[in-house]
Amino acid sequence: MSIKRWDDISTKVCWAAIFIWFGANLLSQAVYLGFNGVPYDANQMLLSLGNWYWLCVAIELCVWIIFGSMVVKKFKISSLDDSVVESA
């Protein structure tokens, strides 16, 4: 496969992973809120993990960095494609 094809596939997989991650967060909060009537305290849950807390924070930070870089890449590509050619 060509590099362009691999780049397209990896971009689609990254977007799918981000949407799944975001949807899972929303769904878990909605279910907890439905059963208990109050939103869960994510900080308290992460602190109860002990040393695994830092691994979860690092993973979430990586997801946000990937998301940010993909958004920037998307805007950069779309702005390059929409360039206007001036005629004399």
Model confidence, pTM: 0.55
pLDDT tens over the chain, length 88 residues:
577 776 777 778 878 888 888 898 899 889 988 998 888 887 787 778 888 888 888 988 988 888 888 888 877 766 655 555 566 5
* Number of domains making up the chain: 1
Helix-strand-coil split of the chain, %, nearest 5: 80, 0, 20
Of 60, 65, 23, 67, residue with least CA distance to 45: 60
What is residue 27's predicted lDDT score, i.e. its pLDDT? 92
Q: Tell me whether residue 46 is in a domain.
A: yes
Q: Tell me whether residue 64 is in a domain.
A: yes
Residue 43 three-state SS: helix
Q: Tell me whether residue 42 is in a domain.
A: yes
Q: Tell me whether residue 85 is in a domain.
A: no
Q: Tell me whether residue 18 is in a domain.
A: yes
What is residue 63's predicted lDDT score, i.e. its pLDDT? 82
Q: Tell me whether residue 86 is in a domain.
A: no
Q: Tell me whether residue 32 is in a domain.
A: yes
CA dihedral of 80, 84, 87, 88, whole degrees rounded to 10: -90
Q: Residue 84 phi/psi, 5° resolution?
A: -100, 130
Range of the domain at 32: 3-80
